[in-house]
Structure 1
């Protein structure tokens, strides 16, 4: 069984079937938690699963696997009064158990600038032979544009013909991104990236977990789809960094 299959099955039993005993089958005794939703360790995860209501459900959109890291992108219903779009990232240990978890969640928006949802679009990774080239492209983009804020090279990385946007406040295309960025800046929310913590790449899909500021300290989770050497689609979650966490592991 691949790490992707392990994580999908474990998540299905934990959050689909809401089965606390799945912790015994799938979770390492040394499970390390970075989420703001639960304390550290497997027993805390068991408690979280046990607390899920009958109406709770998870709608998965896509899964990306890269070595011992597996990322899920989807929507939770029942964690609060409104649905939450989320990225979950799991590290799988050598025994095939979930050993570490990070996440970021943001409210579901039904009326978006592009007309696209926060999770629709291609679900399965393609161009699997291009994984490393696409990883390198996105990491270079992250260093020069996201961290370096050199927007003069934007078209070296993002397609000028097709750029599908899933951020709810940005319309499609580079013009849509520019208009959204200008609006955010007027609100005192400049896109500032300081650290790229992790990258998960599979084929034409590359996910970045980053840290920075967006008016306040935030976690940036950006998922890019690449075609013919250019970024053609973008999904994201921008989540404020909590002042306190229920563990000492940090958010990243």
Structure 2
């Protein structure tokens, strides 16, 4: 069974069926947790699943797999008073068990600048033969634009014809991104990227998990879709780094 199938099956049993015994089938004994929502280890995950409320449900949108890393992009309903958009990143070990987990969550916004939702758009990876080329392009973009703050090269990486934006505060196109960035700057929230910790690429989808600042220390999760060698779509979550975590593993 592939890593993608393992994670999809485990997520369905854990968060679809809300079955705590799925931990025994799918989670490694040395399971390492990076989420701010649960302590370390499989028993903490078991307790989390056992405590899910009756109205809880997970609405899966995308699954992106890259070797032993698998990303889920979706919406949690009932995990709090309001729906939460989430990226969940899992590492699957050689025994086919989930061995590590990172996540980022943000409230679902109904009124966005682009009119798009935080999760709509294409869902299935395509153009699988360009996975490595797309990975390299996004990493170069991250180095020059995100970390280097050289916005003069934006059009080398982002399409000037089609750029669909799913960040709630940014309209479509480069002009939309520029206007949002200017507003953020006025609010003292400049986009500062320090380190890219992980990249997950499958076909036309590339996800970056990064660390930086946005007024406060944050985790940046950026999902890009590419076509013909340019970025044409972007989804993201910008999550403040909590002052304390329920484990000693760090957020990254």
Superposition TM-score tier, normalisation by shorter sequence: over 0.9
Q: Which residue number in structure 2 is paired with residue 60 of structure 1?
A: 60
What is the alpha-carbon distance in structure 1 between the residues aligned to residue 15 and residue 52 of structure 2? 8
Q: CA deviation at 1:91?
A: 0.1
> 2:34 matched to 1:34?
yes
Q: Which residue number in structure 2 is paired with residue 87 of structure 1?
A: 87
The correspondence of residues 131-146 of structure 1 with structure 2, limited to 5 A, is 131-146=131-146
Q: Which residue number in structure 1 is paired with residue 106 of structure 2?
A: 106
The correspondence of residues 178-217 of structure 1 with structure 2, limited to 5 A, is 178-217=178-217
What is the alpha-carbon distance in structure 1 between the residues aligned to residue 102 and residue 45 of structure 2? 13
TM-score, normalised with respect to structure 2: 1.00
Q: Which residue number in structure 1 is paired with residue 116 of structure 2?
A: 116
> 2:156 matched to 1:160?
no
What is the alpha-carbon distance in structure 1 between the residues aligned to residue 149 and residue 75 of structure 2? 31
Aligned residue pair count: 252
Q: CA deviation at 1:79?
A: 1.1
What is the alpha-carbon distance in structure 2 between the residues aligned to residue 60 and residue 219 of structure 1? 22
What is the alpha-carbon distance in structure 2 between the residues aligned to residue 41 and residue 215 of structure 1? 32
Q: CA deviation at 1:251?
A: 0.1
Cα deviation code 1:163-222 (max 9, x no counterpart): 000000000000000000000001000000000000000000000000000000000000
What is the alpha-carbon distance in structure 2 between the residues aligned to residue 44 and residue 152 of structure 1? 47
What is the alpha-carbon distance in structure 1 between the residues aligned to residue 165 and residue 112 of structure 2? 10
Where structure 1 has 5 or more consecutive residues not aligned to the other structure, the ranges are none
Q: CA deviation at 1:43?
A: 0.0
Q: CA deviation at 1:75?
A: 0.4
CA RMSD of aligned residues (A): 0.3
User: Which portions of structure 1, spanning 4 or more consecutive aligned residues, are displaced by more than 6 angstroms?
Assistant: none
What is the alpha-carbon distance in structure 2 between the residues aligned to residue 107 and residue 187 of structure 1? 20
Q: CA deviation at 1:85?
A: 0.3
What is the alpha-carbon distance in structure 1 between the residues aligned to residue 31 and residue 78 of structure 2? 24
TM-score, normalised with respect to structure 1: 1.00
Where structure 2 has 5 or more consecutive residues not aligned to the other structure, the ranges are none
What is the alpha-carbon distance in structure 1 between the residues aligned to residue 237 and residue 75 of structure 2? 12
Q: Which residue number in structure 2 is paired with residue 169 of structure 1?
A: 169
What is the alpha-carbon distance in structure 2 between the residues aligned to residue 185 and residue 20 of structure 1? 45
